[in-house]
Amino acid sequence: MTMVKALFYLMGFITLASALFVAASKNLVRSVFMFFVTLLSLAGLYVLALADFVAITQIVIYVGGILVLVLFAFMLSGKETLANLQQQNDRFISISKLPALLLAVLFFIVMVNILFKTDINNLQWVNKAVSYKIDIKPDSPMTSNIGTNLMTTYLLPFEAISILLMMALVGAAHLSRKEKNG
Amino acid sequence: MIGLSDFLIVSAGLFCVGLYVILTKRNAIQVLIGIEMMLNAAILNLVAFGKYDRFNNGGQMFALFAIVLAAATTAVALAIILNVYKKYKTIDPNEIHELKD
């Protein structure tokens, strides 16, 4: 077992375990902080998939942006929200949660089954990419390539998403303003 | 190197945990966290497949787009949740069943 493989299994385990903790935890703030761990270990998985730029973006946007936003929503919503949120008197597995658990487990079985049925490690186009040597190597310069592609091939989605982001931010600011003079 | 199937199994597990969180949690912020988990599972898939295309790298590119979209979604969703809390004094999705005002 090589170092990379060991790191991959470590990261995968941390990801799934912290996600399960988020699902199981009754304390809301603690589950949000545990979601930090999930996102950080996912960034580690992206690095192991040789997508370092995506990993840094994940850390900057998700961990630095989204989770701080979620925590701010807690802080702003006052003490009584937190008190309301705490009083969920339910265990991880109870009768009312059985359908959801069944659905999730069956969905997982279906997906893993499909993965093995399609023989995912020997896909035709993947084998072709490996044989033509156009798969990403650990030393290939990806970040400059991403920059070039962003300004050439993917210019239209880039512009579309920037307009959408601006619309969403204006909308969020509009929705969350204080209603003083109508 | 790590095979494709390992990444896909991790992402399938993360997706199912997110599905469970969405179905069972009884406040909207945790449901939002479940949605984020499912989005992250999708992004992990994109990145894992994007490893096999060095020149166009569509996988990484659309992973970046999906991350930005998730940020926009979360900002709007949190604003909506705060407004719903102001109006109904609860953020339990089961109790909010009248959307007209």
Tens of pLDDT along chain B (101 residues)?
Answer: 778 889 999 999 999 999 999 998 888 888 999 999 999 999 999 999 988 888 888 889 999 999 999 988 888 888 888 888 888 777 777 777 776 65
Report the Cα–Cα distance between both ends of chain B, in Å, rounded.
57
C-alpha A155 chain-centroid distance: 24
| Domain containing residue A151 | 141-177
**Looking at this predicted complex, what is its ipTM?**
0.89
Residues of B in Cβ contact (< 8 Å) with A15: 10, 14
Q: Give CA–CA dist A56/B19, Å, rounded.
A: 26
Residue A91's pLDDT is 54
Same domain, A101 and A77: no
pLDDT tens column, A6-37: 999 999 999 999 999 999 887 778 888 899 99
Residue A110's pLDDT is 95
Residue A155's pLDDT is 93
Interchain CB contact of B70 with A (< 8 Å): yes
- Which regions in chain A score pLDDT beneath 50? 182
Same domain, A27 and A37: yes
How many C-alpha atoms does A116 have within 13 Å on its Cβ side? 5
CB B98 within 8 A of CB A93: no
Residues of B in Cβ contact (< 8 Å) with A150: 61
The nearest alpha carbon in chain A to B89 belongs to A81
CB B54 within 8 A of CB A135: yes
Q: Which residues contact A109 (CB under 8 A, 6 or more apart)?
A: none
Residue A182 lies in a domain: no
Task: Pick A108's closest partner by Cβ from B13, B24, B51.
Answer: B13
Domains in chain B: ranges and CATH: 4-88 (1.10.287.3510)
Same domain, A58 and A98: no
DSSP classification of residue A136: P
Amino acid at B84: V
